[in-house]
Every structure is written in structure tokens, then in C-alpha cells.
Amino acid sequence: MVKLSVKDMDIETGGIHIAILNKKDARKLDLHSGNRVVIKKGKTEVTCILDIARSPKSVAEGQLGLFEEVIDHLHVKNNDKVNLEFTDKPKSVALIREKLFGKRLTYEELYTIADDITHDRMTDIEKTYFVTACFTKGLNNEEIVDLTRAMVETGSKINFSSLTLDKHCIGGVPGNRTTMIVIPIIAAAGFIIPKTSSRAITSPSGTADTMECLAKVELTEKEIRHVVKKTGACIVHGGSMNLAPADDKIIEVEHPLSIDAEGQLLASVMAKKYSVGATHVLIDIPMGKSTKANTWAKAKHLRKMFELIGRKLGMKVKVIITDGSQPIGFGVGPLLEALDVIAILKNDSFAPQDLKKKAITMAGMLLEMTGRYKDGFKVAKEILESGKAFKKMNEIIDTQGRLNHLKPGKFRLPVHCPKIGRVKEIDNEIIAKIARMAGAPTDKGSGLFINKKAHDLVKKGELLFTVYTESQFKIDLIKEFLKKNNGYDIH
Amino acid sequence: MVKLSVKDMDIETGGIHIAILNKKDARKLDLHSGNRVVIKKGKTEVTCILDIARSPKSVAEGQLGLFEEVIDHLHVKNNDKVNLEFTDKPKSVALIREKLFGKRLTYEELYTIADDITHDRMTDIEKTYFVTACFTKGLNNEEIVDLTRAMVETGSKINFSSLTLDKHCIGGVPGNRTTMIVIPIIAAAGFIIPKTSSRAITSPSGTADTMECLAKVELTEKEIRHVVKKTGACIVHGGSMNLAPADDKIIEVEHPLSIDAEGQLLASVMAKKYSVGATHVLIDIPMGKSTKANTWAKAKHLRKMFELIGRKLGMKVKVIITDGSQPIGFGVGPLLEALDVIAILKNDSFAPQDLKKKAITMAGMLLEMTGRYKDGFKVAKEILESGKAFKKMNEIIDTQGRLNHLKPGKFRLPVHCPKIGRVKEIDNEIIAKIARMAGAPTDKGSGLFINKKAHDLVKKGELLFTVYTESQFKIDLIKEFLKKNNGYDIH
């Protein structure tokens, strides 16, 4: 163990923990670039990968250069004293190697892995081996349940000690913002429903991105408890809490290859629900060409698995298989989606009926799952159309912290129909790509507003959709892209 | 594309290419930490992962902070102007994803992957997916041949336009320095044998580390051509040349989990031989508890595969399965091994006979493979014992650049036998661990000198081996370790 003086390098890596030692100190300590070290400040510690400074200008002898992620984690500043010691590969590495050779992992072993991932003791390479081992060798049902539990136990848990409802959608359909309608309906009916959502990774918007057009979504655990206690619900970004943190870190390394192993998908979804103490969970599996469940067989298999894992974890899980063949609602992109949601909650006549109907159906199913209602659909519809859900949504927004200074992108590109016919299909992936090119989800007001949906009759020259963006440059890029494909299949 | 001014950060990562942008520039260019960018200087370019500087003190607007690996690659210095542009995932990523789902890759596809790896266009995570995809889904014989060719074609090749001999050992046995005896014998017989060797990764010494006690091993391609032209041979570090560079970069990500997929082992070995234009190759597969081929079945299977892949690549390959049950020679560690080699070449009576006999056997087999000799063993023995091989070795050493100022570690720890009996086995891994604890391969003079080998009769108190090291601290550490295990199985 050696004492060193912190030098804040003022550089962020986007997640990787890096510490830098002067080459003379490194030689003295027999440490090399790429070595794994533990840096300690009081009781807080963090595992870092070592880089070596070749000149004292960047990091002098006796100093330890730290990147921002490490500075933030240890709560240190320039010239603070920290301890550094060499550390070997964590125990998980040997376990992952065994999994790669086909071993079945126990709860204790999966806990060790989740714990090492949570505390950043593993490198990206090692985490990637874990993902591929699980993907290629598979996780059996026991392992999925054990991994779920391990990811929950190595993070924070919230418990509302009463019936707690939750919903989840496995994604793949632009505009599918049922959460922001289902949650206020359920909360207005008097149930607890603390919803944590994700931000977009490859899609044009996640529920957290869309909700952020209306309210703050990055809340502390304490703030969330307060919101749920006061309103019965919340719609927040799950990433800002510490719920199953290993899951988020596993997803980071899955992303580069879009690996989405079934076992990890199940564990990931169930861990988030389990860590908020959900007792009744409704899961939406959209089925379509570009969704995870692109055949009936796959959708039904996933349904079976979700229900099975739920049962093993003591949760009541119901799965709804929905139409994933085209975008839902009119808006695609954070703000344009938020406007759809508000229109539905306000009972505006121009609100998208597909999104409204889907949300009522789901809310109704959740209500029936509690055993307190026979015709959930009717009850949910009444709560929505009476304005009670809108009132509840405003309560949630105000308690989380209202935000509403946003405008749709000021550069607009209307896209017209090239021929007469009927819209057969709309390609979710193309629509998502156009919305992302327009700037979603970073530019909240960017995206698409869709005028024609599948089965609609269209004439040549009729408006199919409008692109909203913040720059003429992006309009030009999209125009070029649209020459090849506008996502519409018209017959 | 944007022009930026280089700031040398004076930090080395040990291989990862990092560039740092000020956060204001990053925002302007819509770039984020973790993004992949290409940095160009004239015709040279390098793909980097982006970090973000939060203050102008570390990297100011208009500047681009570069770590040493990037500085060296682009040959730039402070304030040089470079171009930066965003780049997407390379095409390989989609191919690797397909392999992970079991697809058979074509030559063109493997070439794309080898090319992206060679030019550092892939992240560690992506390379790890490639390794695991090949490991779990396997490579068929065609793929192994294609990967070998692809790794060779994406690097430099050397060709001596005549019969070219080579040898390789798949490793696992400390002290096994046959190369440094076989090469001078073969060259003294008049054949071309350009040997590239590796440095130790997890072992106490690689042939390149041991040879470096006697001569320079980091030679340029031009220098190597000169050495081989003049002496018929060389014993150099392969890493300093550009032979199948993708292979070295694949090995880097295999190392953290000690993954050693058969397909990649075969491709790795054969690529190095193929890229120096070898026509006749002898491969040594030591068989023992701690070697890659730890059963007869595995050793024979590997032999079959090496011969098969060789045939498909138009090389004559012969495999010798040897005793890998204990260290070979007396010395373990760079200098102590080099002393064994010199003793054998000088016909000293105290030279280790096991290493001598193995080297003569191998040299004899190589001579016979050329078709010009019937009793290769006899010819090789004559060349060695007549001093011709020693003369040739001196020629090679002088042409590569003689080095000989090294001394064995000055701190010594004699390890004595605890009881009377017979040495049944010596554990290669324990011996290797002790030598590494002593400082090998970094401290050239550190390691072990072994006095008792398997089958030897020993009395209580007799010297088993001596540890050589550069510090008392290491002696103390090793003493502690030896209490648990000294590697000797005495019955």
C-alpha cells in the first residue's frame, strides 16, 4: 500500500475507471500500464486500470492522476491523499471462464459476479466474456432466477410494503409511450405504481427521455420515495437510482454488438421490477418484423418464460402480446411523443386512438390482476376519460418537478406520398433511424409526426409524415436518406 | 472533418488508443466520451476512442489531447495539426455478430475482421466478442486456413525464395530453450531458418527474452533480412516486426481469461510461419499435466490438425510430441536459461543433457524433412559437438548486435530437500510462479537454477534448486510461498 497525492486530470472516459502513475513510481512499485489497482480514500474504494505518465508534467512522482469518474466516486479533490494497492483479477474471472466451458453457476457464484460488476472490479473485456458465456452457453431457469436475485441484492431496494404494481415493455416500437398513460390511471385508481424507465440507447426516445419533456426524471432515491408516497406513483429514470446496477453495466457491453441473450433479458427486466418490490407486473411484448419477438412462437415462448421466472420470484406476472408492426401514436421523438400523451390524457379529439386504446387495455389488465375489478378496461377508460388520470399525471409532474419550456424542432420537412394506394406496413427501424438522424433523443423537439398509418388509403402528394429538427444540415441529410427509403410500404 | 492542434498528454495506456477533446468542441461536433473517431495526419490515420476534457487546463478548445500510443503511431508532436472525424462501427462488428450466431465466415469476411483488428478499428469489447465467437462456435478447417491467410495478408511478409525451415513450440515447459540450439545447427548445415520468437506473457521467459541476454532481438525488417542473408538465420522478437499483427492483438484479449481456442492457436502458429515463407516446419508439442496438450488424445489431435492446416497452406509440417512433465535444462529465467544454452553449444561437461538431447533430436528431424539427410540425429550431433553450431551462434549474435553485460541476481535462496526419497515430478506451474516472483522475465538475472530433476534420488538437506533475485524483499516473499509448495513431488 502506498500513499499518493491526487491530481485531478479533468478528463472523463464515459465510465472506465482510470488512474495514472508517474513512470518512476510505477517502476518502484513494479506496476505496469493495464494493471488493476485499488484506490482507497477512507472507507470508499474503487478499482482502476493503470496508465503510466512518461513525464512529471502530466503526473509527477508521488502524484496519482485520476479521471473524473474516479474523482466523483471517491469524492476527492486535488492534493487529497489516497492509498493505492495492486489487486489481482477478481474471483469472478475464474467463474466466467468456467461458464464459458459450460458450467452451471450457483447463486453464490452469480452473486460474486454481480458484486464484482457492481463495484467495477472487472474490465470491459472480462464483462464481455460474461455476456458471451451466458449468451452462447445459455442460462437455465434456476440461473436466470439466481442472476436476477444477485443483481437485486448487490444494489438498492425500495419497498412500499403493500400491493405494488408495475409494467414493462420489451421495446422495438417507436412512439409506444403507454407508460405515461397507464401509470396515472393506475395511481388514480388508488394503487402504488413506482415506475422506473430507461433512456434511449439505439431508439429515438426512451420513456425517461419523453417524460423529461414534462418533469424532472433524475431523482434521488429519497425524492422518489417522497413522490410515490404523495402521489402513489412516479415516472423516473431508473439509471439515477442504484437498482440492480450490475444490470446496467452488463447492458453497456451488450450494446456494441446488440447482443440480447434471452436469459439476460429476462433477468434484466425482472431485476428492475423485483428491486422496487413489485407484486403485480404486466409485460408488453410487441410482435413485429423488427422487434425482439418477431414470430408468434418467440413471443409465446417469452411469455411463458416471464411468467415462470415471475412465479419463482414470487411475483404475479401477466404478459400481453401486442401489435408491433408499425409505430404507435403520431409522434416519434421525446417532445412529439409527450404531446401525444398529453392529448390522450386531456381527451383531445385529435389524440392518437391506437395509443389510447392500448394504454387503456393494459391499465385494465393491471387492475384485473389485483383481483379487485372484473371489467378493468371499463374502469380504466372511465378514469382516463373523466380527467382523473390527467389530474393524477399533473400531480406526479408537479411533485417530480415540472418542466415545460420545450418546442418542436423549428426546421421541418414534410414527406409526401409518391403514389396512390394503401399503406401496407411502416418500417419501425427506418422511422427510428429518421428520428435519430433528426436529432432525437438528444434534441427533445426533434423527430417525426406521422399522418398516415398502416391500412390508410393514400393519394399521390398526400402528407405521410413531417420531420422536425434543429438544423437545415440535418434536413438535407434526411432528404438524401429518404431518396432510398421512407419506411412506407404502399400497395 | 475538423482540424485540431495536438497536445501530447505524456500518458501511456499500454495499447488502447485514446484521444481527448475539450467538452465545448465535443458539444459542437456532437461527440461523446466513448465515441470512435479517426485521427489523420497526412496519409497516416488511427482510430481512437474519445475521452472528454472538462476543463481547458487539461485540453483546451481547438486542441486534441493524444496519449503516447497515438503520438507514436502518427509521428506527431505538440501543436502539430491533425484532422479528426467521427467514424461508425467497422463492418467487422456485424460479421462477428453473425459468427456468434453460428455463421461460417468466408475468407473475405475473415480478411475484413483481421484488417480491422490490425488497424485498431475495433474496441477491446468487440475483439473479445470475436474471440468468444470463435471459441464457442468453433472454426472449421477452412476457416482456420482462411483466418491464417487473412492474418498474414494484413501484415508484412518476408520471403527468402528458397527452402526455408522453421520450428515452433506450443509452450508450457520452463527452461525449454531448444530454439537457441536448433537454429545454429540448422544454419550451420547451410539452411535458411529465420526464427521469430515471442516474449513471455505468463511464463518466466520467452525465447526472445532469453536471446536478449546475448544479442539484440528488436530488429527492423531490413536488419533481419540482412542478418538472415549473412548468417542464414536469426533469433529475433517477432513482435517488433509486422508479421500477422492481428494475431498479436487477438492474443491480448485472450490473455485476461486465458482463453486459448484450438482454431486460434493453430491459426496463430501457422500465420507466423507462413509470413516468413517457411516451407518446412517442425512443431514441438510438450505433453504434461500443465501443458496445453495434457493427454495423449489431445496431443495426437493437435498433431493431426497442425499437419492438416500445414498441408492446406502448402507447408510441410511435422510434429514431435515431447515430455512436458518437468522443466527442461537447469536454468529457468532469461539469463539462467541462456547460460544453459551456451554450455551446450560450448560442449561443457556440466551442460544439461536433457535439453541437449532434445535439441539434437529436433534439429535432426528438421534436417531429415529436407530430404537431404537420412540420419539427421547423427548429423546434428556432429554439427553441435564439433563447435560449428557455436561458431554459427556467435555469427548470429554478432550480426544481430552482441550484448553480454548480465549477471545472475545477487540475492540467492538455496532450497533444500525436506526428506529422503526419489523426485517423482516437478510442477511446471509452481516453478514458473517462483521464477516470476523472483522477477523473471523483467529482471534478466532472476529465476531458478535446478539441481534435482525427476527420477533423481535425493537425501534430506540436499540442494533442490537455488532462487536468484535482485531484492531481499522478493527472497522473503518466496520463502513464505515455499512453505506451502516448492513444486517437488518426492516419494
User: What's the ipTM?
Assistant: 0.78
User: Within 13 Å, how many C-alpha atoms sit on residue B408's CB side?
Assistant: 18
Residue B405 lies in a domain: no
Longest Cα–Cα distance of chain A, Å, equals 77
The pLDDT of residue B337: 98
Active site residue B260: yes
Which of chain B's residues have a Cβ under 8 Å away from the Cβ of A125? Answer: 124-125, 128, 253, 256-257
**Contact call for residues A69 and A10 (beta carbons, < 8 A):** no
Q: How many residues in chain A?
A: 491
Preferred mutation among B8, B17, B33, B477 to probe A, highest tally of A CBs within 10 A: B33
Domain end call among A42, A61, A86: A86
Domain end (from A132, A153, A174): A153
Q: For residues B79 and B97, state if they share a domain.
A: no
Contact B197/B207 with Cβ under 8 angstroms? yes
CB of B145 within 8 Å of a chain A CB? The answer is no
pLDDT the model gives residue B124: 87
Cβ proximity of B69 and B12 under 8 Å: yes
Q: Is A308 helix (H, G, I), strand (E, B) or coil?
A: helix
For A22, the 3-state DSSP assignment is: strand
Closest partner residue to A13 (CB to CB) among B30, B33, B259 is B33
Which chain B residues contact residue A55 at CB under 8 A? Answer: 10
**Confidence check: pLDDT of A191 > 90:** yes
Structural domain contains residue A375? yes
**Mutate which of A7, A8, A10, A68 to test chain B, going by most B C-beta atoms within 10 A?**
A10
Q: Do B100 and A128 touch (CB under 8 A)?
A: no
CB-based contact A40:A113 (threshold 8 Å): no
Q: Provide, as residue numbers in chain B, all residues whose Cβ is less than 8 Å from the Cβ of A254.
A: none
Q: What is the mean pLDDT, run by run of 10 residues, along chain B of 491 residues?
A: 92 87 85 88 92 90 93 94 90 94 96 94 91 92 96 91 92 95 98 94 92 96 94 92 89 81 92 95 94 93 96 96 96 97 97 97 98 97 98 98 90 96 94 93 94 96 96 90 93 89
Name the CA dihedral angle for A235, A241, A243, A247, rounded to a multiple of 10 degrees. 100
A269 and A217, same structural domain?
A: yes
Torsion of CA B47, B49, B53, B56, to 10 degrees: 0
- Per-residue pLDDT reduced to its tens digit, A87-112: 888 999 999 999 999 999 999 999 99
Q: How far is CA B245 from CA B227, B252, B339, B466, in A?
A: 22, 11, 32, 38
Q: In the predicted model, is pLDDT for residue A232 greater than 90? A: yes
CATH number at residue A191: 3.40.1030.10
**Looking at residue A27, what is its pLDDT?**
79
Q: Which residue has the cell 517423482?
A: B424
Q: Which of A33, A37, A61, A134 to mutate to test the interface with B (most CBs of B within 10 A)?
A: A33
Residue B121 lies in a domain: yes
Q: Which residues pair with B166 in a beta bridge?
A: B281
Residues ≥6 apart with Cβ < 8 Å to B251: B201, B268
> Which of B:67-126 have CB within 8 Å of A?
67-68, 89, 93, 96-97, 100, 123-126
Q: In 3-state terms, what secondary structure has residue A427?
A: coil
Report the gap between the CA of B461 and the closest CA in chain A (Å): 34
Q: Do A377 and A430 reside in the same domain of the chain?
A: no
Place of cell 516451407: B279
Closest residue in B to A50 (Cα) is B13
pLDDT band for A160, please (50, 70, 90 cuts): confident
Q: Is the domain of A261 the same as that of A372?
A: yes
pLDDT single digits (tens) A324-341:
999 999 999 999 999 999
**Is the CB of A54 less than 8 angstroms away from the CB of B10?**
yes
> Do B97 and A257 count as a contact with CB atoms less than 8 A apart?
yes
Last residue of one domain, picked from the residues B64, B86, B108: B86
Q: Is the Cβ of B128 closer than 8 Å to some Cβ of chain A?
A: yes
Residue A158 domain flag:
no
Do the domain assignments include residue B406? no
Confidence of residue A242 (pLDDT cuts 50, 70, 90): confident
Strand bridging mode A447-450 / A488-490 = unpaired
Domain annotation covers residue A72: yes
pLDDT of residue A405: 74
Interface check B30 vs A, CB under 8 A: yes
Considering only alpha carbons, which residue of chain B is nearest residue A130? B132
Q: List chain B residues with CB under 8 Å of A253.
A: 125
Residue A158, chain B, CB below 8 Å: the answer is no
Which residues are B332's β-sheet partners?
A: B448
Q: Is A193 helix (H, G, I), strand (E, B) or coil?
A: strand
More confident residue, B64 or A405: B64
pLDDT (0 to 100) of residue A35: 85
pLDDT tens digits, residue range A378-390? 999 999 999 999 9
CA distance between the termini of chain B: 72
Q: Give me the pLDDT at residue A463, please.
A: 97
By the CB < 8 Å criterion, does A253 face chain B? yes
pTM for the predicted model, two decimal places: 0.83
Whether B290 and B171 map to the same domain: the answer is yes
Give the distance from residue B58's alpha carbon to the nearest chain A alpha carbon, in angstroms: 6
Same structural domain for residues A210 and A236?
A: yes
Q: A34: closest CA among A149, A159, A125, A117? A: A125
Task: Give the minimum alpha-carbon distance from B303 to chain A in angstroms, rounded to a whole number.
Answer: 23
By C-alpha distance, the chain A residue nearest B8 is A58
Contact between B158 and B273 (Cβ < 8 Å): no
| Full residue range of the structural domain in which residue A344 is found | 165-400
CA B205, distance to chain mean position in Å, is 10
Q: Report chain A's mean pLDDT, rounded to a whole number.
A: 93
Quickly tell me which residue has 383531445 as its cell. A348
Q: Are residues A362 and A455 in the same domain?
A: no
Name every chain B residue with its beta carbon within 8 A of the beta carbon of A10: 53-55, 57-58
> Does B20 sit within 8 Å of A257, measured CB to CB?
no
Residues B196 and B344 occupy one common structural domain: yes
Tell me whether residue A87 is exposed, middle or buried, using C-beta atoms within 10 angstroms of its C-beta: 0 to 12, 13 to 18, 19 or more: middle
With cell 419497498, the residue in question is A159
User: Is B203 in the same domain as B276?
Assistant: yes
CA distance B268 to chain A (A): 20
Pair type for strands B81-86 and B36-41 = antiparallel
Nearest to A287 by CA among A312, A324, A259: A324
pLDDT at B112: 97
Instruction: Identify whether residues B328 and B236 lie together within a single domain.
Output: yes
Of the candidates B8, B124, B260, B354, the residue annotated as catalytic is B260
User: Which grid cell is A49?
Assistant: 486500470
Do residues A166 and A281 touch, judged by C-beta distance below 8 A? yes
Domain shared by A138 and A35, yes or no: no
Per-residue model confidence (pLDDT) at position B42? 92
Does position A260 have pLDDT exceeding 80, yes or no? Answer: no
Residue entry with cell 527468402? B160
Q: Is the pLDDT of residue A14 over 90?
A: no
Q: Among B27, B26, B22, which residue's Cα sits nearest to residue B9?
A: B22
Q: A260 and chain B: CB distance < 8 Å anywhere?
A: no
Question: Is A28 part of the contact surface with chain B (CB cutoff 8 Å)?
Answer: no
Asked if B29 reaches chain A (Cβ–Cβ under 8 Å), the answer is no
Strand pairing class (A63-66; A2-8): parallel
Q: What is the CATH number of the domain that holds B72?
A: 2.40.40.20
pLDDT attached to residue A2: 87
Are A262 and A389 found together in one domain?
yes
Residue B139 lies in a domain: yes
The set of residues, in sequence order, having a beta carbon less than 8 Å from that of A204 and lying 6+ positions away, is: A174, A332, A333, A432, A435, A436, A440, A441, A447
State the pLDDT confidence band at A64, using cuts at 50, 70 and 90: very high
Q: Is B54 on the interface with A (CB under 8 A)?
A: yes
pLDDT at B292: 87
d(CA A397, CA A438): 27
Which domain CATH number covers B132?
Answer: 1.20.970.10
Q: Chain centroid to CA A185: how far?
A: 22
**CATH assignment at residue B468:** 3.90.1170.30
> Is B158 a member of any domain?
no
Whether A54 sits inside 8 A of B253 (CB atoms) is: no
User: CB–CB of A67 and B58 under 8 A?
Assistant: no
Q: Could you tell me which residues come within 8 angstroms of residue B246 by beta carbon, excluding any fewer than 6 positions away?
A: B113, B114, B115, B117, B118, B150, B151, B154, B155
Domains identified in chain A, total number: 4
